[in-house]
Copies of this chain bind each other. A is one copy, B any other.
């Protein structure tokens, strides 16, 4: 087998820098494809495909106005990432705290 599909979850979708840039931009407010193309200087077909990946994992949603497709972030879909990172950091800090305690006890 190869690497997991970029569309398999938020972790994989977000591993690509272009897609993070798109999400970062969209987090400031919704935008049409052409605006993303212009601001991020990424060729239009690639923007569309990146948006397709992000749509598949529900990180962005789309609304059509005339011939323009307006995309917006759905940050709820980042929750698994958020939660996992938090779990790791929580455990890690806890161990550091315990280490602090140990060190404190060694200091009379």
A residues sitting closer than 8 Å to B (CB atoms) are 3-4, 6, 11-12, 14-17, 20, 23-24, 27-29, 73, 75, 78-79, 81-82, 84-89, 91-93, 95-96, 100
Interface centre among A6, A82, A86, A88 (most CB of B within 10 A): A88
User: How many protomers of this protein does the assembly include?
Assistant: 2
A14 touches B17 (CB 8 A): no
Helix, strand, loop or mixed for chain A's interface?
helix
> How far does the Cβ of A29 sit from chain B's closest Cβ, in whole Å?
7
A79 CB → nearest B CB, Å: 8
Q: By the criterion CB–CB under 8 Å, are A85 and B82 in contact?
A: yes
Contacts of A81 in B (CB 8 A): 81, 85
Residue of B nearest to A81 (CB): B85
C-alpha spacing A75/B27, complex, angstroms: 26
